[in-house]
Structure 1
Amino acid sequence: MTDNAMSEAAMLISLRDITLPVEAAGGLGADIAATVGLAGVLALIIAGMLRLFSMRRRVAVPPLRGQFLAIREMPDDARRVALLHLLRQAQPEHYAAIKGALYQPEGGVDIATLEAEVARLV
């Protein structure tokens, strides 16, 4: 800076607006690339939000002992089904071995046997 005052003409010249070129560098291709890039980022954000909100929440499963005690108070038909579900949840390989017997005419696996198998797990 100088200690001398600027003349009025010099001050007016320095206050002129800055003029930008009509067409930016890169032209139409750069504009399209920027638009596609921003749209892609926006699509990723929306997809992430949709995935976050659509994910299934894990339901807390009560411990086997609590389930087994609750099953003991059920009627026989409901108890058989509940014991089979519990056995399938706890030991899928053992359930797969006995599931063929479930559809036999004599009723499949006995309730006492199922209770013994599930009690062994608890």
Structure 2
Amino acid sequence: MTDQAMSEAAMLISLRDITLPVDAAGGLGADIAATVGLAGILALIIAGMFRLFSMRRPAAASPLRGQLFAIREMPDDARRIALLHLLRQAQPERYAVIKCALYQPGGGVDIDTLEAEVARLV
């Protein structure tokens, strides 16, 4: 190197001599690894978008809530039967447990317990 500044023409000529290598470092293996990595990231983004759009949204109002309010206006015998029907529809496994107590001499489960069971579903 010299201490003298290069002329503009000499500088432009020296810039034209710069050539980049045809193959990148790592060759074909690096290209494949970069492609697989970018495809993986894109797949994760697409899967996240599908999950976001396919998530269930909570219902605005439960249909059981309206039925429960209507049941509260009924007489006790009809109310007990309606609550048992709702419980059988919504939670058949819990209804199976309560069903055994229905035929006991004491009358089985009281209305307040049934109403609490159904109210937990709402």
What corresponds to 1:32 in structure 2? Answer: 32
Q: Cα offset for 1:59? A: 2.3
Q: Which runs of 5+ in 1 are unaligned?
A: 103-109
Query: C-alpha separation between the residues in 2 aligned to 1:26 and 1:8?
Result: 37
Q: Which runs of 5+ in 2 are unaligned?
A: none
Alignment TM-score, normalising by the size of structure 1:
0.57
Amino acid at match of 2:41: V
Q: Cα offset for 1:16? A: 1.5
The alpha-carbon distance between structure 1 residues 5 and 116, as it changes in their structure 2 partners (threshold 3 A), is: closer
What corresponds to 2:50 in structure 1? Answer: 50
CA RMSD in angstroms comes to 4.5
Query: C-alpha separation between the residues in 2 aligned to 1:119 and 1:46?
Result: 45
Q: Cα offset for 1:100? A: 5.8
What corresponds to 1:105 in structure 2? Answer: none
The alpha-carbon distance between structure 1 residues 114 and 37, as it changes in their structure 2 partners (threshold 3 A), is: same
What corresponds to 2:68 in structure 1? Answer: 68
The counterpart of 2:114, out of the listed 109, 115, 118, is 118
Identity of aligned residues (%): 68
Query: C-alpha separation between the residues in 2 aligned to 1:27 and 1:119?
Result: 72
Q: Secondary structure at the match of 1:15?
A: helix
Query: C-alpha separation between the residues in 1 aligned to 2:54 and 2:65?
Result: 32
- Residue 13 (str. 1) matches residue 9 (str. 2): no
List structure 1 segments (4+ residues) > 6 angstroms apart after TM superposition.
Answer: none
Query: C-alpha separation between the residues in 1 aligned to 2:12 and 2:65?
Result: 89
What is the number of residues matched between the two proteins?
Answer: 109
Query: C-alpha separation between the residues in 2 aligned to 1:86 and 1:115?
Result: 12
Amino acid at match of 2:68: F
The alpha-carbon distance between structure 1 residues 65 and 55, as it changes in their structure 2 partners (threshold 3 A), is: closer
The alpha-carbon distance between structure 1 residues 89 and 58, as it changes in their structure 2 partners (threshold 3 A), is: same
The alpha-carbon distance between structure 1 residues 58 and 8, as it changes in their structure 2 partners (threshold 3 A), is: closer
The alpha-carbon distance between structure 1 residues 48 and 65, as it changes in their structure 2 partners (threshold 3 A), is: closer
